[in-house]
Structure 1
């Protein structure tokens, strides 16, 4: 189980690093978005949603996962981001939910593996 934990942690870290670096350095042209997802993205842009902050957090979490340092904290920071990614794709773009689902399920797996560190958060 320890090897599976390391594999999932490194794969999530690589995914987060790739996505955030590609975003900041504009490595790839943005894909053409249509329909409700396009309307949603335009609404986010018009609202002043801080995508740079989200991608910055993804970058920091990716570094944490790759290095193996602060993984428990990175899990907590990443959880609402991964939930948001899954819900957006589930409702607006179900065909492209793969990477988001992997991120969310991997995040849950790592929280499960480090559950002893989180138990105190749920005590009254």
Structure 2
């Protein structure tokens, strides 16, 4: 049962970040995105190259989550992105706050499941 839920969470986050990343490119090129992006969120990106970098990382990590490869790397890259998404929806734009909280909980669950991959980062005196 744990493996089924773990795979479901992984696939959900993979699809979510893949579609959000692709949707960001429609906004960059001035096309109408297929998922509405709030003006408050887009106002935070003063330079398009920052948005390109973030959306590219979202696409790459979404693909890594979907193909079940390099999961600790994808989770490490997504951690600051998810923190920014949660803080944005908590303090600026409350429209997708529930999705941001669910996404954060799912991300924390995946971090917990793969915690052994991150324990060496917390060693006091590495060998």
TM-score interval for Structure 1 and Structure 2 normalised by the shorter chain: 0.7 to 0.9
How far, CA to CA, are the matches of 1:53 and 1:31 in structure 2?
17
How far residue 22 of structure 1 moved from its aligned partner, in angstroms, is 2.0
* Unaligned 5+ runs, structure 2: none
* Unaligned 5+ runs, structure 1: none
**Residue 93 (structure 1) aligns with:** 93
Show the 5 A alignment for 1:1-124: 1-25=2-26, 26=31, 27-28=33-34, 30-31=36-37, 33=39, 37=40, 41-45=42-46, 50-124=50-124
Q: How many residues align?
A: 118
TM score, norm. by length of structure 2: 0.82
Superposed CA RMSD in Å reads 2.0
TM score, norm. by length of structure 1: 0.84
Larger RCO (CA within 8 A; separation ≥ 6): 1
How far residue 54 of structure 1 moved from its aligned partner, in angstroms, is 0.3
How far, CA to CA, are the matches of 2:62 and 2:7 in structure 1?
13
How far, CA to CA, are the matches of 1:100 and 1:29 in structure 2?
15
- The ranges of structure 1 where at least 4 consecutive aligned residues each deviate by more than 6 angstroms after the TM superposition are none
Structure (1/2) with the larger helix percentage = 1
Distance 1:43 1:100, change over 3 A: closer
